[in-house]
Amino acid sequence: MGEGGVERKRTVKLFCPSLSKIIHVIARDEQQLDLGSIARAFGLDPITIKLNGHFISRGVDLIASSVTWKSLLSFFSARGLSTGTNDSDALIVDGKLTKVGSKRLHDPA
C-alpha cells in the first residue's frame, strides 16, 4: 500500500514488436498479472506469452497468482530491462498469434 493506505496505481506500457502495437494498462502495485487479458489485447495465444523475454508462471485462469505488477517491475528494473514507464521503455510482449476462429484450449462450457 502507498501513503495513507491507498494502493498505488500506475500506467504500464506494453509493446508487441511482431504487431508494432503498444497498449497502456492501468495496474495496481499489488495486482496479480492477468496474462489472458494482455494476450487478448494483442491477439496472442495466452499460453505462449512472454514479458521482456521471460515466461511468467500462470494458472489455468491465466492469472499469475504469485507475481504482482510491483514485484515484476522491480525484477525487470534490477536487471536493467524495460519497465513500461513510457512508450520508449515499454515492456516487450512476445507470443504466437491466435488463429482466427480457433477455440480456447480451456473451455469451461
Sign of CA dihedral 66, 34, 15, 54: positive
Q: What is the pLDDT of residues 50-77, one digit of tens each?
A: 999 999 999 888 999 899 999 999 999 9
Q: What is the pLDDT of residues 78-105, one digit of tens each?
A: 999 999 999 999 999 999 999 765 555 5
Q: Specify whether the CB–CB gap between 93 and 16 falls below 8 A.
A: yes
Q: For residues 59 and 73, what is the distance between their CA atoms, to the nearest angstrom?
A: 20
Domains and CATH numbers, the chain: 8-94 (3.10.20.90)
C-alpha dist (Å) from residue 100 to 37, 44, 48, 60, 108: 17, 11, 16, 21, 20
Q: For residues 18 and 59, what is the distance between their CA atoms, to the nearest angstrom?
A: 25
